Structure 1
Amino acid sequence: MEIAYILIQCDLGAEVQIINEIMKIPEIKEVRGTYGIYDVFCKVQSDTKEELDQIITNKI
């Protein structure tokens, strides 16, 4: 089992829309809005590192 934690910066006011879209990805296990430099935190989980790389590169 592979897990990655992603921090995302987004445009002001776009946080809710981005969180809602990210939550549609089945491999996303947790999404939270944050304060500070980064706006969104998400936890991604997959069976292999290759699958994890593909999810991060193509879906997020």
Structure 2
Amino acid sequence: MQAYVLINCNTGSETTLISELKELPEIIEINGVWGKYDIFIKISTADPNGVEQIVKRLRNHPDIVDTYTMHVLYGQGGTIDNE
């Protein structure tokens, strides 16, 4: 299972939060971003409930204010290298 998650966090906590989230093995990409959201992550897990478990963990973090999760639809796209 793969998903992208956009995160809003408390102002000033971005750098610390990114460092913490880098330690989670299910997070395979993480970037600070400008705009409506503060952090962009990509989750990949073999567990069918893995995305839900990670998102619940994110939502319980004291510095995370809001999340927006987008589950990947398999068979529609992929990386440029795969096409």
Moved over 4 A (4+): none
Unpaired segments ≥5 residues, structure 2: 59-83
Q: TM-score, normalized by length of structure 2? A: 0.65
Q: Hey, what's the Cα distance between the residues in 1 that align with 2:54 and 2:9?
A: 19
What's the counterpart of residue 39 of structure 1? 38
Please state which structure has a larger fraction of its residues in helix: 1
CA RMSD of aligned residues (A): 1.0
Q: TM-score, normalized by length of structure 1? A: 0.87
Unpaired segments ≥5 residues, structure 1: none
Residue identity opposite 2:6 in structure 1: L
What's the counterpart of residue 15 of structure 1? 14
| Aligned-pair CA distance for 1:12 | 1.5
